């Protein structure tokens, strides 16, 4: 969809939050596009953005976080299908995509994350809201902890577009937040405590 429709989506947000609202609608378009085109097979949506989009958490969130639920992490390390699907969708939104990916090992917890960074140069009325660039990051944990429960959540991330999003159940999502609060004393943020109180 053209960028002017994204602009319409965020008009109802207070002016101070319109940048966040524009970023969120881009997240919603990307997530819907991935789900509708088979891009989320062997992955589950998690984190604060999952809480907001699937369970109405009343705060904006920054990244699209996933865990790999398949049996061969080596395959998941380079999901080229994501790059193609996301590029197509960003072009359709009147944005010029610049997508980079990096595989890295985090020092804390030995987590392996696949990071896709989208730097989109916007045009039209969308550019008036976000400037000429907006960044969306997708983080995929290839070595998630054991014991999580994955569920299929059918919903409309975008109005009128029903999709099934593989995600974690609420207890598993809360366990992830508890892990952050209990083990990442140098990296926990106010939003993590907010989410804990929301639960």
Q: Which residue has the tokens 């989506």?
A: 9
Q: Which tops the pLDDT comparison, 103 or 141?
A: 141
Average pLDDT score, the chain: 79
DSSP codes of every residue in 116-179: EEEEEEE-HHHHHHHTT-EEEEEEEESSPPTT--EEEEEEEEETTEEEEEEEE-HHHHHHHHHH
pLDDT tens column, 111-138: 555 555 666 677 666 666 666 677 788 8
Burial pattern 55-80, b for ≥16 Cβ within 10 A else e, equals: eebeebbbebbbbbbeeebeebeebe
Torsions phi, psi of 102, nearest 5? Answer: -150, 130
Q: Which of 115-129, 136-150, 168-182 has the highest mean pLDDT?
A: 168-182
Question: 31 burial class (0-12, 13-18, 19+ CB within 10 angstroms)?
Answer: buried
Question: For position 154, what pLDDT does the model report?
Answer: 92
Q: What's the mean pLDDT in 152-166?
A: 90
pLDDT above 70: residue 4: no
Q: Which of 74-78, 163-167, 183-187 has the highest mean pLDDT?
A: 163-167
Question: For position 107, what pLDDT does the model report?
Answer: 40
CA dihedral 37, 40, 41, 47 (to 10 degrees): -160
Pairing of strands 134-141, 112-122: antiparallel
Question: For position 109, what pLDDT does the model report?
Answer: 46
Question: For position 53, what pLDDT does the model report?
Answer: 94
Q: Which tops the pLDDT comparison, 50 or 186?
A: 50
Q: List Cα–Cα distances, 124 to 4, 5, 13, 121, in angstroms.
A: 7, 10, 19, 10
Q: Which residues contact 53 (CB under 8 A, 6 or more apart)?
A: 27, 28, 31, 155, 157, 165
pLDDT above 90: residue 51: yes
Give yes or no for a contact between 122 and 94, defined as CB atoms under 8 angstroms apart.
Answer: yes
User: Predicted confidence band at 73 (pLDDT cuts at 50, 70, 90)?
Assistant: low
3-state secondary structure of 1: coil
Rounded to two decimals, the pTM is 0.84
3-state secondary structure of 64: strand
**Domain definitions of the chain by residue range:** 3-198
User: Predicted confidence band at 170 (pLDDT cuts at 50, 70, 90)?
Assistant: very high
Torsions phi, psi of 69, nearest 5? Answer: -110, 5
CATH architecture of 3-198: Roll (3.10)
């Amino acid at each position: 969809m053209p960028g002017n429709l994204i602009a319409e989506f965020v008009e109802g947000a207070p002016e101070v939050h319109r940048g966040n609202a524009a970023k969120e609608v881009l997240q919603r378009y990307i997530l819907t596009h991935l789900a509708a085109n088979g891009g989320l097979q062997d992955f589950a949506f998690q984190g604060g953005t999952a809480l907001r989009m699937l369970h109405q958490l009343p705060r904006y969130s920054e990244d699209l976080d996933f865990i790999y639920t398949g049996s061969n992490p080596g395959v998941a390390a380079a999901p080229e299908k994501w790059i193609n699907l996301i590029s197509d969708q960003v072009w359709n939104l009147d944005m010029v995509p610049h997508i980079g990916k990096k595989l890295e090992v985090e020092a804390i917890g030995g987590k392996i994350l696949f990071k896709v960074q989208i730097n989109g140069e916007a045009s039209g009325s969308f550019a008036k809201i976000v400037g000429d660039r907006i960044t969306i990051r997708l983080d995929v944990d290839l070595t998630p902890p054991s014991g999580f429960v994955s569920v299929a959540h059918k919903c409309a991330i975008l109005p009128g577009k029903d999709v099934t999003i593989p995600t974690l159940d609420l207890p598993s999502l809360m366990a992830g937040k508890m892990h952050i609060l209990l083990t990442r004393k140098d990296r926990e943020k106010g939003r993590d405590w907010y989410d804990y109180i929301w639960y």
